[in-house]
A and B are shown apart, each in its own frame.
Chain A
Amino acid sequence: MSRRLLLVDDEDAIRTIASISLERIGGWTVLQAPSGQAALEAAQDDGPFDAVLMDVMMPGLDGPSTLERMRAGLLPNHVPVVFLTAKVGQADRDRLLSLGAIGVIPKPFDPMTLPETLRQVLDQSSSE
């Protein structure tokens, strides 16, 4: 039984590429959500998930706000959330981590190595 991942990104192309990469190379079962609102619904209806990979900048409900609402009962605290973002300054990283995310993967990502990068982030947080 492969692990289930919720992928949240407003860009169709990015979502498609990431999910192909994660499914074919990483062996995840990926459920896609095109917006924060859709992600909240997915968390409620299609759970449980083993991890959430979420874009930061999205129209409507952005990544941090979505995370905040998910943590309010929709998503168990032990489920790791990783952000995808183009901004990777130390301050941005610190801010995202302080919201309860366990890691940040910079955009643009290489689809060939994305599953490996994600695995490292998850391993690191579980070993701590």
Chain B
Amino acid sequence: MSAESEQRPIRCLVAKVGLDGHDRGAHVISRAFRDAGFEVIYSGLHRAPDEIVQAAVQEDVDVLGISILSGAHNTLVPKVIEGLKEYGAFEDTLVIVGGIVPDDDKAELKELGVAQVFGPGTSMQETIDFVRENAPRHR
């Protein structure tokens, strides 16, 4: 029985941070993740960075996907990462960002510790494959 892998789905938190009411993308990705066999926790809209941190820490997720379409990524993402570090949760959480992020900012976010930034037009499969390959497997 391949019980090990069955009993251990990848856990993701799909998070909407800040003043950004556009959640269609977050919904679509949540469903795609679910259909890929992941366990998805959706944060709901308008969350503050420390609320996202609280959820990521308590739910012990492998992956934190932050959806930002407001352009405030340079303010919000560092706060989330700082918070994760504070709780010792940064090293074993794969942080990815989806949304409208200019190329210059992408590099900056990656330097902060974001594993990947997915822009418009990214296929669902590409994101799922990336998560499967990079999700940390803590015991």
Whether A and B are associated in the same complex: the answer reads no
Chain A contacts to B: CB under 8 angstroms:
none
Chain B contacts to A: CB under 8 angstroms:
none
